[in-house]
Amino acid sequence: MEQTPQQAWTGRKPSIGHLRVFGCMAYAHILDQKRSKLDDKIEKYLFVGYDASSKAYMLYNPVTKKKIVSRDVVFDEEASWNWNDEPEDYKFLFFPDDRDEPNDIASPPTSPITPQQSTSSSSASSSEGPRGMRSLRDIYDETEELSKSFNNLTYFCLFGDNEPLNFEEASQNHKWKIAMDEEIKAIKKKDTWELSTLPNGKKAVGAKWVFKIKINEKREVERYKARLVEKGYSQRKGIDYDEVFAPVARLETIRLLIALVAQNN
């Protein structure tokens, strides 16, 4: 019977859930501290292997020649890198005043010129030089090329992240209103808070809204998320609170308790 050495030793089939198709597309999450607010949240890579010292994946970007090791990865095993794509280079074009190619020079006037006019005209001509004339076709071609260069830039400006900074901004958008309603319903459903009487001389901790646009691996808007949080930073140690930590049950502790329960029936 065919089986792997690990299965023969342990008697159990090894897990293969972490295996991925070599060379498939991989989208790695960029940590918040490594990007600014306007930067991309994911980066496109190729899957090239597994890290020997951890449970992470080895990724490679053929365009930037960048290699990383990451666990926060979303794979698209049915897609592959498009090697025909070239990195887009945004060139901001300007209309130069001087042209390298020869231009048609305006012919001098045929009317007679007085000596005084001749002196001033000759000095102006020697200082400025011949001024070239540009055809409308040249201007149109450059304008069209400039417009194409700005197409993608305009797209990003129109559809970029636009997360409101406060409640007043969010209340003017129907999508954010729905997100806030969902948050309030979730709070009521989970009984997150209860009404209580405020002690004399004490001020209640305020609350604020935090808004976030959730983007999937295809750079599409997945969800408009609104969270209602309290302003914990306004509290003062020794007055509003004493402890600076929140008790959290570790998995090892839970396992120990379950083992003791099983042992003592």
Using one digit for the tens of pLDDT, what is the confidence trace for 135-184? 555 665 566 565 555 555 555 555 455 788 888 888 888 889 999 999 99
DSSP secondary structure of 88-123: ---------SS-SS--PPPPPP-S---HHHHHHHHH
Instruction: Give all strands (DSSP E) within the chain, no chain letters.
Output: 24-29, 42-50, 57-61, 66-70, 73-80, 207-215, 221-230
Residue 262 has pLDDT above 90, yes or no: yes
The arithmetic mean of pLDDT across residues 234-256, rounded, is 79
The Cα–Cα gap between 141 and 24 comes to 41
Position 154 scores a pLDDT of: 53
DSSP secondary structure of 63-87: TTTEEEEES-EEEEEEEE--TT---
3-state class of 221 per DSSP?
A: strand
Give the orientation angle of helix 151-159 with respect to helix 136-149, to 10 degrees.
40
Using one digit for the tens of pLDDT, what is the confidence trace for 88-128? 544 444 445 444 444 444 455 555 555 554 444 444 444 44
- pTM for the predicted model, two decimal places: 0.35
The Cα–Cα gap between 243 and 247 comes to 10
3-state class of 152 per DSSP?
A: helix
Position 123 scores a pLDDT of: 46
Position 144 scores a pLDDT of: 59
Position 110 scores a pLDDT of: 52
Q: Indicate the CATH number for domain 5-80.
A: 2.30.30
Position 48 scores a pLDDT of: 92
Domain ranges of the chain: 5-80, 159-192+204-265
Position 258 scores a pLDDT of: 94
